[in-house]
């Protein structure tokens, strides 16, 4: 039993039903019991949250994050990672299996599920390994992992190098109705690269990673998905060529879905040259490097790409080629990043700032707010729950996973306010416009901003 909650007078957006209207939302016993005018329907003692001027939508769903437990609790734990998720508006997160031990056995998955039940602030869906130990040599016990309750299979951090093994993985996954989530990267083409192959790499004297390293594996995997009829999900798409490959595959009826990250949608390779984003060329010669050049917080895998790639990703989100936006939250310790660029770990801690970062695209009118919410809720929900099962939507009878957001609120990102153990976030010190006011998970308030309930400015519509 949970406290009854009435969210009153907010702008309710539900992409599944194409609802966009002012309404009340009543949640009782973990379920939505009323939408619209709730006058006289709220039970005695029900808490009311005044949401006038705010947006109310389904809780966000993150298809791709790293909670690090077991094995790397110095970077993150299930407790800290899920608290960060709640603050970011997420009510469901999928944790990747590159832990120690990796999630390649039922025992490992059961451990994570038990920890989540005991300490998780939001729902956690484990992703199982494609291969034993993520070594790419033999398949994991995929049937056993399905019975354990994994939401899909991935060797995230590595592609499955063997085409034969990848084919078998897709064939087996089809029997269990689960997607194979592929980190697409040809290691031979990466060859020690640390940034995008291009002018920034040349300017900084760093080895580059060509777009082809991603696109070659995507091409192979799309061919195998067509051969097997299985569900393929492409993780963290980063190049214009990848978007076009996926677009064509969808037109051909191949069962493929894809995700992009907030940082690939907003930032480019120039961010590695410093927080002010200097041009690669300055006058007739190279741009002078700033004090924060070689920014290891901007070192991610796949790397931040060119402006052309970024624009192609945004277009892919708009036209449906890219189904979901996922954080690829990758927390690290201070020492993992406080070193030479080439030695620093790949990854960005992003659960707490994802929504504010993405709202920059809305304010710049590159994306509509309804489209953004769809890519954070309903569409990733379809990938996890093809029959919906009450997740990622706002409807009477659906799960009481709700987020309340203020699209106009400005806030300064400060390290002390990030709930993740990983402080490797390149937006620290930045002012973002778009804030999570409350996250409700299963009818319980998992996060609440201290300013919730105070008068807010008149809302601006972001159609």
Residue-wise pLDDT for 174-223, tens only, equals 999 999 999 999 999 999 999 999 999 999 999 999 999 999 999 999 99
- pLDDT tier for residue 95 given thresholds of 50, 70 and 90: very high
Side-chain half-sphere exposure of 162, counting CA atoms within 13 A: 14
Report the pLDDT value the prediction gives residue 277, as an integer from 0 to 100.
Answer: 54
For residues 387-413, one letter each, b for 16 or more C-beta atoms within 10 angstroms of the residue's C-beta and e for the rest, the string is: eeebbbbbeeebbbbbbbbbbbbebeb
> Is a pLDDT exceeding 50 seen at residue 282?
no
413-433 tens-digit pLDDT = 999 999 999 999 999 999 999
Comparing CA positions, the residue from 220, 211, 198, 206 lying closest to residue 238 is 211
Q: What are the extents of the domains in the chain? A: 5-55+400-448, 59-384
Per-residue pLDDT reduced to its tens digit, 3-21: 799 999 999 999 999 999 9
What contacts 377, CB < 8 A, 6 or more positions away?
15, 57, 58, 59, 60, 61, 392, 393
Burial of 415 (0-12, 13-18, 19+ CB in 10 A): exposed
- Assign 62 to helix, strand or coil: strand
Q: What is the pTM of this model?
A: 0.95
Average pLDDT estimate for 444-451: 94
pLDDT of 283: 47
pLDDT tier, 461 (very low <50, low <70, confident <90, very high otherwise): low
Where in the sequence numbering do the catalytic residues fall?
328
CB-CB neighbours of 8 under 10 Å: 17
Residue 266 pLDDT > 70, yes or no? yes
What percentage of the chain carries pLDDT values higher than 90? 87
pLDDT higher than threshold 60 for residue 285: no
Q: Is the dihedral of CA 446, 450, 451, 454 positive or negative?
A: positive
Q: Let me know if domain 5-55+400-448 sits in CATH 2.30.40.10.
A: yes
CB neighbour list of residue 395: distance below 8 Å, 6 or more residues apart = 14, 16, 17, 32, 35
- Average per-residue pLDDT for the chain: 93
Task: Average the pLDDT over 355-380 and give the result.
Answer: 97
Q: Which two tokens stand for residue 213?
A: 């390293």
- Return the number of other C-beta atoms located less than 10 Å from residue 31's C-beta: 16
The closest alpha carbon to 353, from 75, 87, 91, 124, belongs to: 87
- CB-CB contact of 317 with 367 (8 Å): yes
**Residues 6 or more apart whose Cβ sits within 8 Å of residue 29:** 1, 2, 4, 443
User: 59-384 sits in which CATH class?
Assistant: alpha beta
Q: Which residue has the higher pLDDT, 82 or 462?
A: 82
- Continuous segment of H or E residues that includes residue 169: helix 163-176
Beta-carbon count within 10 A of 82 CB: 30
For 189, the enclosing helix (H) or strand (E) is helix 187-190
- Is the pLDDT reported for residue 261 higher than 60? yes
Alpha-carbon gap, residue 60 to 86, rounded angstroms: 9
Name the H helices within 377-444. Answer: 378-384
pLDDT at 389: 73
Dist. CA 29–CA 8, nearest whole Å:
18
* Lowest-confidence region among 14-23, 283-292, 394-403: 283-292
The continuous run of DSSP H or E covering 220 comes out as helix 212-228
pLDDT at residue 270 in the model: 92
């Amino acid at each position: 039993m949970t406290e009854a909650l009435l969210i009153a007078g907010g702008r309710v957006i539900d992409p599944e039903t194409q609802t966009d209207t002012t309404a009340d939302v009543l949640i009782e016993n973990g379920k939505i019991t009323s939408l619209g005018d709730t006058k006289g329907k709220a039970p005695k003692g029900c808490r009311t949250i005044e949401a006038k001027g705010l947006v109310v939508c389904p809780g966000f769903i993150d298809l791709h994050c790293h909670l690090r437990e077991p094995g790397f609790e110095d970077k993150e734990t299930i407790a800290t990672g899920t608290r960060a998720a709640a603050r970011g508006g997420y009510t469901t997160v999928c944790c990747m299996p590159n832990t120690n031990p990796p999630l390649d056995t039922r025992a490992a998955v059961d451990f994570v599920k038990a920890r989540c039940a005991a300490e998780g602030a939001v729902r956690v869906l484990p992703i199982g390994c494609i291969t034993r130990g993520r070594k790419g040599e033999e398949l994991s016990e995929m049937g056993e992992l399905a019975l354990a309750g994994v939401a899909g299979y991935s060797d995230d951090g590595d592609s499955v190098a063997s085409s034969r093994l990848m084919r078998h993985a897709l064939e087996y996954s089809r029997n269990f109705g689960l997607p194979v989530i592929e980190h697409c990267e040809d290691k031979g083409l990466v060859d020690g690269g640390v940034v995008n192959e291009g002018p920034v790499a040349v300017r900084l004297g760093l080895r580059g990673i060509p777009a082809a390293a991603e696109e070659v594996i995507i091409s192979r995997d799309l061919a195998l998905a067509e051969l097997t009829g299985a569900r393929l999900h492409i993780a963290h798409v980063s190049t214009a060529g990848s978007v076009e490959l996926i677009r064509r595959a969808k037109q051909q009826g191949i069962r493929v879905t894809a995700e992009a990250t907030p940082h690939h949608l907003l930032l480019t390779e120039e961010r590695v040259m410093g927080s002010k984003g200097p041009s690669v060329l300055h006058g007739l010669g190279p741009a002078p490097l700033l004090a924060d050049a070689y920014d290891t917080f901007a070192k991610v895998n796949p790397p931040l790409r060119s402006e052309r790639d970024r624009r192609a990703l945004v277009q892919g989100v708009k036209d449906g080629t890219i189904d979901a936006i996922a954080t690829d939250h990758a927390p690290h310790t201070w020492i993992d990043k406080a070193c030479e660029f080439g030695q620093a770990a790949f990854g960005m801690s992003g659960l707490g700032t994802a929504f504010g970062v993405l709202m920059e695209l809305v304010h710049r009118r590159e994306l509509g707010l309804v489209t953004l919410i769809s890519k954070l809720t309903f569409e990733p929900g379809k990938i996890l729950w093809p029959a919906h099962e009450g997740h990622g939507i706002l409807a009477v009878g659906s799960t009481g996973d709700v987020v309340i957001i203020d699209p106009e609120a400005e806030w300064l990102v400060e390290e002390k306010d990030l709930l993740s153990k990983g402080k490797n976030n390149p937006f620290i010190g930045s002012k973002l416009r778009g804030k999570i006011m409350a996250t409700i998970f299963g009818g319980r308030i998992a996060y609440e901003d201290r300013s919730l309930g105070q008068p807010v400015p008149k809302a601006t519509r972001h159609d």
